[in-house]
Amino acid sequence: MPVIAPVPAVPPARIPSQREDSDGAMTAGTTVDHLTETYRAHYRSLLGLAALLLDDTASCEDVVQEAFIRVHSARNRVRDPEKTLAYLRQTVVNLSRSALRRRILGLKLLSKPMPDMASAEEGAYEQLERDQLIQAMRGLQRRQREVLVLRYFADMTEAQVAETLGISLGSVKAYGSRGIAALRVAMEAPA
């Protein structure tokens, strides 16, 4: 009779501990050094982006710093380190939207008179055109306004705008062309 040897016991599969799993996730995401370097290198452009969506410097700085903090705390979600800047831009746009919503709600709740604008002879026409452009931009749909601000004021490519807003390239082109057409009509209309 042949002798049958027992099958050697296979050690159970090793389940990584929570600490090891979180370390693995951190290596898969962007590093703190890369995130910090990207933030420092693009701080001014992020601040400019926030400034185009908001209207006061203090809020812009707060938004950009908050964006860094949020991306830092969720850096393991940034699988491709090359997309770190895109995550920062997207977060700046989202936080700017939130700041504007809070501001609008505050204005609705507190109906205080707006301060009068001081008259100035020099640059009066420029100020009038700027005010007319701002008013016309406010009359656009939200997406049209965001696309135009990112495309022409932040000087992003259409692909960068699409990535920042999370929409397709075709949508960026459509929102952009419709927004420009609406701006032309609004700027040519008699005041």
At 3-31, the pLDDT tens digits run 443 444 444 444 444 334 444 433 466 78
pLDDT value at residue 117: 52
The mean pLDDT of 178-188, rounded to a whole number, is 90
- Residue 186 · residue 136 · CB < 8 Å: yes
- Residue 113 sits at φ, ψ, to 5 deg, of -70, 145
- Residue 71 · residue 35 · CB < 8 Å: yes
Q: What is the 3-state secondary structure (H, E, C) of the chain?
A: CCCCCCCCCCCCCCCCCHHHHHHHHHHHCCCHHHHHHHHHHHHHHHHHHHHHHCCCHHHHHHHHHHHHHHHHHCHHHCCCHHHHHHHHHHHHHHHHHHHHHHHHHHHHHCCCCCCCCCCCCCCHHHHHHHHHHHHHHHCCCHHHHHHHHHHHHCCCCHHHHHHHHCCCHHHHHHHHHHHHHHHHHHHHCCC
pLDDT of 119 over the 80 cut: no
pLDDT of 190 over the 80 cut: no
Indicate the average pLDDT of the chain. Answer: 78
pLDDT value at residue 12: 46
pLDDT digits (tens, 9 = 90+) for 32-68: 888 889 889 999 999 889 888 887 888 889 999 999 9
pLDDT of 175 over the 90 cut: yes
pLDDT digits (tens, 9 = 90+) for 149-169: 999 888 889 999 999 999 999
